[in-house]
Structure 1
């Protein structure tokens, strides 16, 4: 017979509260179902509501609470049962952006205080980057990369991961020089060779993709002095985002490249406008080699 295994106390987090119950009653519901003593229920419910900063609204019903407040009550309802594992499924999807960002930080603090392991499923890449200690990227039911947010973002292991987490400029080419600490890649999309000095995998004459994040791309009015990793183009579109501006630059080859230019950088030069001729460039450390 197989050995006996003690079941893990797991809670699936649902944000649907019972509308006819107060916040306090919603949190207490699971404990009452377990037949816990009244004194224990009162103590644990009070502690859970205090943890999520909802003690002062304990007597209100869900319709009297904001979306973020309802989520905190629902979280308290799960945590009050002291699970070892908490599964969150799209926990912030119904919230406005500002409330979502604030709730993300609050949720991280709460989980850190109680020490519960949390698995969160989300399609919001930014949310995953902010909240996770480790990320697992999935496609077609398979995990294709696991790592810290920094590892997955800075060193994607495939084209899918490069494009799914954040955004990326991708250049197809062939390795023409292969050394231990760098490679040079010839791409028909660029007039200059691609020089990559880290994360190097591949061999001579191998066809690869080079990924360069938009924030790594510099936009200038003069041609760079370096003899690699640059091209000339024209500004096709501009998207102002407050702290930064996205420039869509069409190269002479017809390739579209996106550059994320900070407001500080734009104040230090005459900001390019539509149809202006510009040059894009990036450092050897900015490229990542993708073999698939």
Structure 2
């Protein structure tokens, strides 16, 4: 991996005006992404996970802070970030192929028609839709529609992939199948990735690092855990590893017992009070040495 971060988030904050003053959803969110790194973001519902992803995508303006992508400060949406939502939002009057081509035509308008067509066909085939790419969304299952969404994002060949609970509406079997599809594509393309998820097991299996967010309002980075399993990963081997339960317990303990603790407030406590104030907050490096 390159030493220079692909994405730098520095004190990103988002607030909305209310009659009683600004309601701060996310505060001082700071995180760097190494090239090709897969990071998942977990936390309780409403803590601001999707808000962070939306700011990174350029779909929501940050109230404060800075975002530097590939060395350039940015705050607008662009084809350098491919986004997959929980619902793929396909245009119903277009086939799967035409939905993917819509973005490809806009981004690669200087390429020949044949080159653009081959690009769309390649990614639809890779996600397993080689025989269904000319079907309409109404004729596709929820899992197949999500495959179209994944193919559409990768076909843009972006600098970053952003995933907002893309498997949240799928049954367990389909979810596991699409996790494997996603990992196979990620390995081929080595795209720097940010994924929002509620699923602790999904976070462990997919991630290089899991970033845990504190509860809102004023949510921030509460803890960061490096996942030690080598790639490529085999699900059965990961789950059989004795470290798996330790990692899973660490994440669940944060969500159940420590998500209300904000590191920034602990840091503001006087040095003599630090041990007591921070006694329930395990260091983010707790499992990195395994």
> Runs of at least 4 residues of structure 1 off by over 6 A?
155-158
Structure (1/2) with the larger helix percentage: 2
Task: Render the CA deviation track for 1:123-147: whole Å, top value 9, x for unaligned.
Answer: 1212111211111000132111112
Map 1:64-83; keep pairs closer than 5 Å. 64-83=139-158
Pick from 206, 211, 233 the counterpart of residue 136 of structure 1.
211
Structure 1 residue 31 corresponds to structure 2 residue 98: no
Distance 2:278 2:99 in 1: 58
How far the C-alpha of 1:43 sits from its partner, in A, is 1.5
Pick from 46, 50, 71 the counterpart of residue 125 of structure 2.
50
Distance 2:247 2:145 in 1: 37
Q: TM-score, normalised by structure 1?
A: 0.51
> Per the alignment, do residues 153 and 136 of structure 1 end up closer, same or farther by CA in structure 2, a change over 3 Å counting?
farther
Q: TM-score, normalised by structure 2?
A: 0.51
Distance 2:249 2:94 in 1: 49
How many residues align structurally? 173
How far the C-alpha of 1:105 sits from its partner, in A, is 1.7
Structure 1 residue 108 corresponds to structure 2 residue 175: no
Structure 1 residue 154 corresponds to structure 2 residue 234: no
Task: Render the CA deviation track for 1:211-269: whole Å, top value 9, x for unaligned.
Answer: 9xxxxxxxxxxxxxxxxxxxxxxxxxxxxxxxxxxxxxxxxxxxxxxxxxxxxxxxxxx
> Per the alignment, do residues 125 and 32 of structure 1 end up closer, same or farther by CA in structure 2, a change over 3 Å counting?
same
Q: Is the 8 A contact 1:145 1:161 kept in 2?
A: no
What secondary structure, in the 3-state scheme, does the structure 2 residue paired with 1:50 have? helix
How far the C-alpha of 1:95 sits from its partner, in A, is 0.3
Residue aligning to 1:5: 72
Map 1:1-292; keep pairs closer than 5 Å. 5=72, 9-14=80-85, 15-34=88-107, 35-36=109-110, 37-139=112-214, 140=216, 141-149=219-227, 154=246, 162-164=253-255
Structure (1/2) with the larger strand percentage: 1
Larger Rg computed on CA atoms: 1
